[in-house]
Amino acid sequence: MLSRFEHRVWEACGPDRLRRNQLLAPLTTFKVGGPAEWFVQLQDGAELARVVEIAREAGLPVTMIGGGSNILVADEGVSGLVIRLHGGEVSSIGASRVRVDAGVTVNGLVRWTVSRGIAGIEAWAGTPGTLGGAVFGNAHFRGRLMSELVTSVRLVGGDGRIVDVDAAAMEFGYDFSRLHRTREVVVSADLEVSTGEPAALRAVARESLAFRKRTQPLESPSAGCVFRNPQPPHDRVPEGIPPSAGALVDRAGLKGVREGPAVVSPAHANFIVNQGGATARQIRALIARCQADVQARFGVTLHEEIVYLGFRDIPEA
């Protein structure tokens, strides 16, 4: 017999979308993690608002995932309802703005804009995950922040209400937005763009992809950069060392160090890669070792960029 929660979710988005004990590892770029107590995949903002409201009324915590990058899911899994927001649409709003659903992948957005001669997004080629995740964490690449493109964001609050918020009210910072504090969920974002020649835009996208292939261990499962870069003058880095988490981990002699199949990448020390069968517990132990060794050697505290999901002893970002 269906519970009231199940019945209401089925009414909101159909009988085949809600699942119990959905394994999350295949839905993450780390390929690590246990099951979701409840799981549903959505892409429509109205459905999202309704399901968030239903979960709130049922007393279930809601956890959002998109492309599954930049997260580490606990081996025990995640309690409550996990919503995977994936897919959606991109549309032009005049000549200088595009509206992008949160579940659209950043790479899909790059392809969409480049093919239409729309400039501004092409340098983000190769960015893992979805636009919603990029807005949540204010993604960065080669000195640029996603917030530089955002003009407004449509959000769902914990009560299921949809609100439109100007970029100035998003509290964007390095690896941060107000969503870390409010637990609101991105439905879509409006981005500022311009016009360009598709061939030139495609060349920029190819160069960005080539840079990532040269400098990042893309051949192995990972969550992207593990640690935030130090931010001088607040974070004091010893003279002669770049304010880079990867440089600090490297100079602490940690490249290639492992905890089982979890390894600090020899290609980029701010990446931990899963060489096959790593557990979240092993990855977390390796993260802790990197933090401890860098602190002991250089007096610098490394803070995680990745988000922990399902860990009972760590508040989720």
Could you report the per-residue pLDDT of 156-184, keeping only the tens digit for each? 998 889 999 999 999 999 999 999 999 99
User: How much is the pLDDT for 236?
Assistant: 87
Asked whether the beta carbons of 66 and 132 are under 8 A apart, the reply is yes
Decide which of 227 and 15 is more confident: 227
Residue percentage of the chain with pLDDT more than 70: 99
Question: Is the pLDDT reported for residue 32 higher than 90?
Answer: yes
Residues 6 or more apart in contact with residue 52 via CB below 8 angstroms: 62, 83, 156, 157, 158, 160, 185
What pLDDT was estimated at residue 233?
Answer: 79
Q: For position 287, what pLDDT does the model report?
A: 98
What confidence category does residue 305 fall into, taking pLDDT thresholds of 50, 70 and 90? very high
Cα 237 to chain centroid, rounded: 27
Q: Residues 228, 305: contact at Cβ < 8 Å? A: yes
Residue 8: pLDDT band with limits 50, 70, 90: very high
Mean pLDDT for the chain overall? 95
pLDDT higher than 90, residue 81: yes
Whole-Å CA distances, 105 to 100, 129, 304: 10, 6, 23
Q: What is the dihedral sign for C-alpha 86, 12, 56, 280?
A: negative
Asked if residues 207 and 215 have their Cβ atoms less than 8 Å apart, the reply is no
What average pLDDT does the segment 37-42 reach? 97
Which pLDDT value is given to residue 139? 95
Q: What percent of the chain has pLDDT over 90?
A: 90
Residues contacting 84, CB < 8 A, separation 6+: 27, 39, 40, 41, 42, 64, 65, 66
Contacts of 29 (CB under 8 A, 6+ apart): 67, 68, 69, 70, 128, 129, 221, 222, 223, 224
**pLDDT tens digit sequence for 244-302:** 999 999 999 999 999 999 999 999 999 999 999 999 999 999 999 999 999 999 999 99
What was the pLDDT predicted at 16?
A: 86
Instruction: Determine the residue type at 261.
Output: P
User: pLDDT digits over 41-76, tens only?
Assistant: 998 899 999 999 999 999 999 999 999 999 999 999
Q: What is the pLDDT, as a whole number, of residue 1?
A: 63
pTM: 0.94
